[in-house]
Chain A
Amino acid sequence: MTAITDRQQLAYIAGQAADARVNVEVETEGMTLNIGPQHPATHGTLRIIARLDGEQVVSVDPVMGYMHRGYEKLTEVRSYPQVTTLVNRIDWLGSFANEVPFILAAEKLMGVEAPPRAQWIRTVLFELSRVANVILFLGDMGVQLGALTPVFYAFRDREHVLNQIEAATGGRFHPNFDRIGGLKDDLPKGWIAETRAVMVKVRSFCDEMEDLLMGSEIFEARCRGVGVIPPDVGLAYGLSGANIRASGVDWDLRRDGDTPLVWNEVDWKVWTHPDGDSFARYWVRLQETREASKIVDQLLDGIPSGPIMAKVPRIIKVPEGEAWVSTENPLGEMGYYVVSKGDTGPFRVKIRSASFNNISILPWVLRGVYVPDIITIMASLYFILGDIDR
């Protein structure tokens, strides 16, 4: 694997450096540039030590862990219901999508299944948090490339989505709405109609981004062919989600995974793009946001009636065993490996979150690019720092 990837990388650098051949003749002094931990393009406390030759990157070294919060360890001293409050803080932009797989893992261990109505509502909220998360990426990509306007539109429209999440769960960022065996509450009155209206706004936001950002020649010039990740390299580095779909790998856990959530009940499509560059990653996420709004629309039509909680004991004790549940989170594959020794809390939890693997490719993909391309590539790989430093 290594030999192939290096050869491909060399070919890629050669293509990139075709215009910069002058660098070969002029001996220049190298410079080390510290990007982060406090840098607007790192979305938080990621630090990248870049060794530059002029404006070209020789090598990069990502440093992380500045905000490590020890979640895996903390879960060992909490009871199962308490863990949900922790895990929905991992990726703070799509928090509902973080608590669902953990609850599913606990339910799997207990042999409990939530009633259909709860599963439908979970899926709807899951997709809403995906929309709320990815909308911010769609605008933020503009900021990283120097266009400030899209992010304000993103904040404006994310607000509507967050309002819906708040109306249903009571929390805007940290819903903590899932319970083992179901949900905390039923949907409020009139929520379905309002959500439908919001989904229309989401789609019009996607159209806006298509006109304002993706349609711009400068955006194409900055993104096409920048940060190309071939599918085999991407898989070798453990990329998942939209990042790997943008390299042409048709893999989506909503369709291919086995969770009791109800994506398979509705009609939707997994988007892929063959190019694997920054533009493809943006394109795939834009299409996915549209698709997610369509999924929500269809799911809202078919929410079954019935209870929202299964019968579970008041004090939850999970029988001995191990369970692994992963779902397609906004950022990619997120999974929980829960080990139980029969207590009220987990014995050990291993969290596999998407961002950590998605950015582990940075040193490979950033070799030989220009300084502005670092930002483009990091923005298009899209990570949440909390999702990296757990």
Chain B
Amino acid sequence: MLVVVVIVPTAALIFGYVFLFKMMSHMQSRLGPMEAGPHGTLQLLADGVKFLQKEDVFPDQADRRVFALAPLVVMMGTFLLFAVIPAGPDLVIESLDTGVFFALAATSISVIGVLMAGWASANKYSLLGGLRAAGQLIAYELPLVFAVIGVVIQAGSLNLQTIVTAQADGAIFGFDLVGLPYVVPQIIGFVIFMIAAQAELTQTPFDMPVAESEVVGGYHVEYTGFRFLFFFLAEFGTAFALAAVGATLFLGGWGLPNVDLDAGWMNLVGPAVLFAKIMLLAFIIFWVRFSYPRFREDQLQKFAWKWLVQLALLNILLTGLFKVVF
């Protein structure tokens, strides 16, 4: 239990941060993050100390209580998500029968925090950023949920643990060497999920809410020091949390094909397997982030409503048909 509660999210944050920071530095030929410690591995520590030293500033007109609470609300969704992600046969805090539903609901909590921050900062840039975030979340929650419905139909369950075992036991047309990770039959769903997750995370190319070149950081423009760090870590943390959902739903989670999933030692191997898959998806998320320019707000809305929703509905229809026929 302890592993799931503490180690998986914390390790995901720390290793993930270091790993992605290094990845980013190499992709962008950045020299700064290579300085602190061997190959820059102590950069996280240095950043933390730097953020701690900064003054805690409240804008004059800000709604102080809402302003102070917003970063915590944003962070909350991230940690709630890990409560239902299984990391082994027994390693799950709450094996909810509606696990998928809970996970998707938890991801949207963060937008309340974003709106709180945007409104309470008493800054026009924050306001624009917050409203953009709200519009974006409404637009992309739908394809995200629709993309997952295909998996739910195929597995016949909303329980994440059941979905994991179903993927490990399955076979692709009698060929069961790799099990049946749903990324294969649900490839449309997977792509839509990744795109919507990118938007949900407000990462490039869907980062208008923060858009530092237009609205200068958007909803968190007025935040300093540790409060800003909360937003920053929540962004990384939610990336891993959504990568974890994606890994569980589409890549087989902690399970390995052709392995006895009830064996006790899977409680040790499971987290590592899950972690590797999370990192793979997080790598893709961040790779896209570092390669693309940003959409414009209207283009983003068009993309969501004109393409993604339609495609996701088509995917549900196809999955349903195949489910009935085969």
Contact = CB atoms under 8 A, between A and B. Distances in A.
Contacts of B208: 372
Interface residues of A, number: 33
Nearest to A56: B298
Given A33-B124, A40-B216, A143-B213, A218 B30 contact: no
Contacts, number: 83
Contacts of B213: 40-41, 143-146, 375
B211 A372 contact: yes
A8 interface: no
B291 interface: yes
Interface residues of B, number: 27
Interface in B18-65: 27-30
Summarize B's interface: helix, strand, loop or mixed: loop
A327 to B, nearest CB: 31
A22 to B, nearest CB: 11
B122 to A, nearest CB: 14
Contact of A147 (B124, B215, B292): B292
Interface in B271-326: 290-299
A40 B215 CA distance: 9
Interface string A19-58: 1100000000001011000011100000000000001000
Given A152-B28, A156-B29, A221 B295 contact: yes
A178 to B, nearest CB: 33
A212 B288 CA distance: 12
A237 B216 CA distance: 30
B204 A146 contact: yes
B291 A212 contact: yes
A78 interface: no
Contacts of A152: 28-30
B296 to A, nearest CB: 5
A221 B291 CA distance: 16
B260 interface: no
A296 interface: no
Interface string B191-231: 00000000000001101100111111000000000000000
A149 B27 contact: yes
A374 B215 CA distance: 11
A6 to B, nearest CB: 25
Given A40-B213, A371-B214, A372-B211, A145 B124 contact: no
A382 interface: no
A370 interface: yes
A56 to B, nearest CB: 10
Contact of A146 (B27, B294, B297): B294
A147 B204 contact: yes
Nearest to B206: A146
B139 interface: no
Contacts of A145: 213, 293-294
B128 interface: yes
A368 interface: no
A161 to B, nearest CB: 16
Given A222-B296, A371-B128, A149 B214 contact: no
A146 B293 contact: yes
A347 interface: no
B207 A370 contact: no
A372 B297 contact: yes
Contacts of B216: 39-40
Contacts of B214: 41, 371-372, 374-375
B212 to A, nearest CB: 6
B236 to A, nearest CB: 16
A251 interface: no
B136 to A, nearest CB: 13
B293 A55 contact: no
A20 B28 CA distance: 37
A55 B128 contact: yes
A213 interface: yes
B311 to A, nearest CB: 17
A148 B211 CA distance: 11
A216 B128 contact: no
A31 B128 CA distance: 11
A161 B275 CA distance: 44
Nearest to A33: B124
- Which has the most chain A C-beta neighbours within 10 Å: B294, B295, B297? B294
B30 A370 contact: no
B300 to A, nearest CB: 10
A250 B298 CA distance: 35
Contact of A218 (B28, B205, B212, B215): B205
Contacts of B294: 145-147, 218, 222, 372
Given A33-B125, A55-B128, A222-B295, 5 more contacts: A142-B293, A146-B211, A147-B204, A156-B29, A216-B293
The 8 closest A-B pairs by CB, nearest first: A146-B294, A145-B293, A147-B293, A152-B28, A144-B213, A372-B296, A41-B213, A149-B28
Interface of A: 19-20, 31, 33-34, 39-41, 55, 142-149, 152-153, 156, 212-213, 216, 218-219, 221-222, 370-375
30 contacts: A31-B124, A33-B124, A39-B216, A40-B212, A40-B213, A41-B213, A41-B214, A143-B213, A146-B293, A147-B291, A147-B292, A147-B294, A148-B204, A149-B27, A149-B28, A149-B291, A152-B30, A216-B291, A218-B292, A218-B293, A218-B294, A219-B293, A221-B299, A222-B294, A370-B296, A371-B215, A372-B211, A372-B294, A372-B296, A373-B296
